[in-house]
Structure 1
Amino acid sequence: MTTSHRATQALLSTAAIVSVLAAATNSAAAQGTTTNEPQSQAAAVYYVAPGGSDSATGTKDAPWASIAHAQSIAEPGDTVYFRGGTYTYSHASTSCASQTARVDAVTLNKSGASGSPIRYWAYPGENPVFDFSDMTDDCRIKGFDVTGSWIHLKGLEIAGVPQNNTLNHESWGVWNSGSNNTYEHLDIHDITGPGLFLQDGGDNLVLNTDSHDNYDAKSSSGAGTNADGFGAHIPADNPGNVFRGNRAWNNSDDGFDLISARSSVTIESSWAWSSGYVPGTDTRAGDGNGFKAGGYGGEYVDYGVKHTVRQSVAFNNGAAGFYANHHPVANDFFNNTGYDNHPDFNMLGVSPSGESTGLGNLRNNIAYGGTLTSNMTGTDSSHNTWDLGTPLSDGQFQSTSSTGWDAPRQADGSLPSLPNLRPTSTGDLIDEGTDVDLPYKGEAPDLGAFEVR
């Protein structure tokens, strides 16, 4: 792009830039992030819309047609708005070299910069849908393959990435291998594999995103065995990956899966339910854990890392709500609520000798309904309902309903405010916890995922 064209874009989009700056600042403040991602004065705003043309100017009145063309023009600090409607894909950007090769429908390999990411955002109030269900490529498919860094996706719906043969474990909705990327307020569903997968990279934030109804019917390891809501299998030396405010439901394998991750991951303020079933049925499929916090194939390894799962809820999962999965080190499980899982907390770890043992640091957790705990011998467990002997009944909660958890998000993308599994303000779950460096309101933290009073 010429300098004069970028200057024209900047002049055409001054009002939009101000709007983007305000939205970024307000979102960061609401979510407690540390970077406001300011744009430079020269940053431009572009538009893409169904029915647009890549030979157009990329303005609101003359939008482009494709994200590929937008990427070829956008520079660090720029914002690309996607108008509502469906963006349909029938083939990948390259052909399959073999039936087990990997191909991409959307490839984002141009990086932004620190403080100046490249933003690919839904136009406010509109719903752009990236529909990959018509893709016919006879190999493994990534809907979005994000290899660049300092990229921010926001407000997009990503659906229908298929598997077209039975030789592979899964395809993926979003595959990340870059760093310092943000995935915000995405709606990912009906993927034949994990909805969003962090394969590599550090300091990525998955924020206020939903991943649901994923099912890998043609998986080479068995139907339903690899379609997680979210996965992070990142290598060593990639710290800082965070999942915050996310929901995973009706996924045929696990809600969140950290198996084989060799860098620490934090999951917080997230919900997982109805994992391990063919979506919409009672037919068991994959593993069925809400939060699978690590593990390395069941063997002891000396490179295990500590993960953190906190202020999160798991209910009605086919297997464990919170699962250590033969992890070789003690993960932190703080202020979580497990309800009607099998069990709610399973701390099955592995010792240096290869023997099974309980491993985990557990504080301020609630286990209610289903089977409460298993493999607790050897854990560091304190101030949890099972330690305190807290009497539990439906009356201790504002509601124990398993419906309504998929309600629309709040205007800023945050989780809906529900009474479900929130303690009553005068019950035995209030002020019964211990300080674990999380904010609380009363004399001591409340038990479970929700701080009430």
Structure 2
Amino acid sequence: MNQKVTWVTAIISILINSNTVLAETFINKNNLRDTTIEKSLLASLPVVSCNTNLTVGEEYACIVSGASQGARYSLKNAPTGMAIQYGSGHLHWTPASNQSGTQTATILRTLDGQQSETPITFTVQAGTTTSQNAIYLAPNGNDNNSGISVDQPLLSLHKAASLAQPGDTIYLRGGTYTNEGFGNSFIGRRNNLARITNSGSPGQEIIIRPHGNEYVKLKSDVNGIVFKGASYWKIQGIEFQGTAQQIDPDQTLKLWWDDTDASNEIKGQGIAMNTSFEIEIVDCIVRDFPGAGVSNNGGANITLKDSVVYNNAWWSFAGTHGFANSKPATPDQNNPTDFKMTMTGNLVFGNQSSMISHVFSKGFVKLEIDEGNGLHMQNTEGLFYGRFLAENNLVMYNGKAGLGLNTIANSTIRNNSFYQNAQAVDGSGELSLQPPDPNSNPQPNVIKKNLFHALPDRQTLKVFNNGQNDLYEGISNNYAVPALDAEAIKDNVTQANSVFVDPQNLNFSPASGITADYGVPQDTLDSFTAKIEEYGITPKPAKTKVNDPYIKKLKIEIFKRWPAPNPNDTIPDNLVLEDGDSGLCYTYEQRGDYPAPPRTKTPCKK
């Protein structure tokens, strides 16, 4: 047995530079806490050597930590570009050519209401970071600057993108960028942080990325980046953050019937692509948007790779997903066997519809929650001529399916790991499959080497019978923990008591008896672990528990708030609402009858 030692101090921060060990501790005599730890763990306390002698252009990385979990970090008076991860203490900076000499910063560490300040001084040797075909941004930049040198940075990505030419790279200095008007009234202001309408060209894409290894966050209370008719762009290494965590069901219900700009509060998407092609999203974090994390309408040749997409789609009325491809379209019908939509190596969790969606223009709304996949691909419009690839993704705790395929054929779903999706939608499953019309002679999807662990009252595969002869054609060599459909899928999916080593503690390696070539490869799992630690991410379900009482409350409020017919709004005067549970339909005049049946029967529109 290991000896135990007891601490009565909390280490606020430890910085070790080339010459000096700087340790700062505090004792609050009114709040002494004994922390007992194994002696064998002392060597693993998060103390990291941080060399403060740097060179311009050198990527600097340091973990600034203490002995206690739950600490929060920030910087004061830091040089341009330096940023620290709030939850983990990871500090990144790449000094630019105008930052040689002595630079100082103060690290703030907060724990249990106590704050400590630790100054740190850097000596930066001269060098150069100026690149060809570069546009520079900084949180303290100015759109009146030229942007063509690191000492003349622009402020807004919107401006930088409008200036970009094929082959350019837009470098963002570390820090947080917000959209114009952030935090103010939504009436009358632009609904995005940046709108991009220009294009790169084959072999000369336009790249948006951080300067060196710096942490860049685009924070928006509307949309983040909107591509409109744009092509050949790459977004790399950027964090996108929305405001879904600051919104609740009551706020959202107040906007359910609202068709003014005020409803932009719950429409924001992280990256929205409209009629855009050849877009790559690589090594990004997209989180906390009330609408989709990433969406594509009318475009193709889109890649989402090595990214984390989480806690999106909670409040949108549009019925959306973590990565929503509801209306993809290729520019032509050439090369239909090529992969033209690719999702590989992504961690996707907590994306969920927590609000009833509507499309008023249809004249009919079914009051239910039936959206919120982690990843989603759909071709009901029949305009996508190509194949879809989903590979090496870990999808967990999403509201509906981990991956939903609607009218998708001839695609490949392999080496993905699915864990306890369908958190909000009864009857759904880990993988949802709605095949195309069999009369169109679709080629079967290839679904293999996946691992599934569904909730016990959900399904592994939610397959819609569209008249095909074999519901499970193309599905083979997969493993699943038995769920409601275990008997139906036993010939296509091998049932096992466990498929992961320890999923509750985020160990998604294949369980004993399952070979390593199933599920997400180990190197990709390791990259997820590293990113979770670096960004202080906690994979878990969405914060709103969607169940029958919750949905019932939403419906009662929607009926209560139904506005009188108005020729000046977008709500049809003859709109019909259907109760998703009873199947009964109501007009405006019958709104007061709910939840009882309407006094006179109203036909339901379909």
Aligned to 1:144: 225
The alpha-carbon distance between structure 1 residues 74 and 448, as it changes in their structure 2 partners (threshold 3 A), is closer
Q: Indicate yes or no: 2:193 matched with 1:105.
A: yes
TM-score, normalised relative to structure 2 = 0.50
- Which stretch shows the higher mean deviation, 107-116 or 71-80? 71-80
Q: Is the 1:146–1:178 Cα contact (8 Å) retained in structure 2?
A: yes
The alpha-carbon distance between structure 1 residues 275 and 43, as it changes in their structure 2 partners (threshold 3 A), is same
Q: Indicate yes or no: 2:242 matched with 1:154.
A: no
Deviation at 1:80, TM superposition (A): 0.9
Rounded Cα–Cα distance in structure 2 between residues aligned with 1:250 and 1:211: 9
Rounded Cα–Cα distance in structure 1 between residues aligned with 2:519 and 2:158: 44
Amino acid at match of 1:46: I
Question: 5 Å matches for 1:256-405?
Answer: 256-260=375-379, 262=382, 263=384, 264-276=387-399, 288-295=400-407, 305-318=409-422, 319-325=428-434, 327-328=436-437, 330-341=444-455, 342-351=458-467, 358-371=471-484, 373=486, 376=489, 382=492, 384-386=493-495, 392-394=496-498, 397=500, 399-404=501-506
Amino acid at match of 1:292: G
**CA RMSD, aligned part only?**
3.3
Structure 2 unaligned spans of 5+? 1-55, 58-130, 245-251, 260-265, 332-338, 353-371, 423-427, 524-606
Rounded Cα–Cα distance in structure 2 between residues aligned with 1:209 and 1:448: 17
The alpha-carbon distance between structure 1 residues 324 and 57, as it changes in their structure 2 partners (threshold 3 A), is same
What do residues 159-187 of structure 1 show as CA deviations (whole Å, max 9, x unaligned)? 21678932479442211131111111111
Rounded Cα–Cα distance in structure 1 between residues aligned with 2:200 and 2:341: 18
Aligned to 1:184: 282
Amino acid at match of 1:186: C
Structure 1 unaligned spans of 5+? 1-14, 17-41, 136-141, 277-287, 296-303, 387-391, 405-418, 431-444
The alpha-carbon distance between structure 1 residues 91 and 73, as it changes in their structure 2 partners (threshold 3 A), is same
Rounded Cα–Cα distance in structure 1 between residues aligned with 2:454 and 2:137: 45
Equivalent of 2:220 in 110, 129, 132: 132
SS class of match (1:358): coil
The alpha-carbon distance between structure 1 residues 79 and 234, as it changes in their structure 2 partners (threshold 3 A), is same
Q: Indicate yes or no: 2:152 matched with 1:62.
A: yes
Give the share of equivalent positions with the same residue, in percent.
20
Deviation at 1:423, TM superposition (A): 3.8
TM-score, normalised relative to structure 1 = 0.65
SS class of match (1:420): strand
SS class of match (1:181): strand
Amino acid at match of 1:331: N
Aligned to 1:123: 211
Deviation at 1:191, TM superposition (A): 0.8
The alpha-carbon distance between structure 1 residues 119 and 449, as it changes in their structure 2 partners (threshold 3 A), is closer
Pick the structure with more strand per residue.
2
The ranges of structure 1 where at least 4 consecutive aligned residues each deviate by more than 6 angstroms after the TM superposition are: 95-99
Rounded Cα–Cα distance in structure 2 between residues aligned with 1:78 and 1:447: 40
Amino acid at match of 1:146: F
Q: Is the 2:312–2:321 Cα contact (8 Å) retained in structure 1?
A: yes
Deviation at 1:327, TM superposition (A): 4.7
Equivalent of 2:322 in 221, 224, 229: 229
Amino acid at match of 2:153: P
Deviation at 1:241, TM superposition (A): 1.4
Q: Indicate yes or no: 2:269 matched with 1:172.
A: yes
Rounded Cα–Cα distance in structure 2 between residues aligned with 1:359 and 1:248: 25
Deviation at 1:251, TM superposition (A): 1.0
The alpha-carbon distance between structure 1 residues 53 and 188, as it changes in their structure 2 partners (threshold 3 A), is same
Rounded Cα–Cα distance in structure 2 between residues aligned with 1:376 and 1:368: 12
